Amino acid sequence: MKKFITQTDKQTQELGKLFAQELKAVCLPEQGTVVCLSGDLGSGKTTFTQGLLKGLKIKGPYTSPTFVVMKKYNNVYHIDAYRIKNKDLLGLGWEEMIADNKNIIIIEWAERVEKIIPKNAIWIRFRWIDRDKRELKFS
């Protein structure tokens, strides 16, 4: 498990950008790549995702999907599961989404729909330390 402490929101974005490079090296034969972001409100999940999308060469603006639940950028999906239940996610075409190995699915609040997250998903756990410090644990 890798653990990082970032001191600014910019650093969290940079970490997201670097992580995009790692993701390019991961490609499962018959499954999409699922990146689960967990942690409290304000812990940096959306900030990290902005850097990650940039690193994946997705053109902005990247608005938070909090109010729309899901944003799709070609084969990259950004989901916010804060207000949804397993069945809502299934209704968005979750099974098909995660079955396509060209897809990258980034999901905030993944712990809320943990039951339908595939076993081989990547988990990043965010923790608020103080106003500008965040801890990110990758597993």
Interaction site with ligand ADP (CB under 6 A): 6-9, 11-12, 39, 41-47, 108, 126, 132-134
Please name every residue paired with 123 in a beta bridge, in sequence order, or none if there are none. 36
C-beta of residue 94 within 8 angstroms of C-beta of residue 101:
no
Least distance from ligand ADP to the Cβ atom of residue 52, Å: 12
**Calpha distance 67→123 (Å, rounded):** 23
Q: Confirm or reject binding of residue 78 to Mg ion (CB under 5 A).
A: no
Least distance from ligand ADP to the Cβ atom of residue 82, Å: 9
Task: Give the count of residues interacting with Mg ion (CB under 5 A).
Answer: 3
Least distance from ligand ADP to the Cβ atom of residue 101, Å: 27
Q: Confirm or reject binding of residue 12 to Mg ion (CB under 5 A).
A: no
- Please state whether the peptide bond connecting residue 65 to the residue before it is cis, i.e. omega within 30 degrees of 0: no
Which amino acid is located at 42 in the chain?
Answer: G
Between residues 56 and 108, which has the closer beta carbon with respect to Mg ion? 108
Max alpha carbon distance in the chain (Å)? Answer: 41
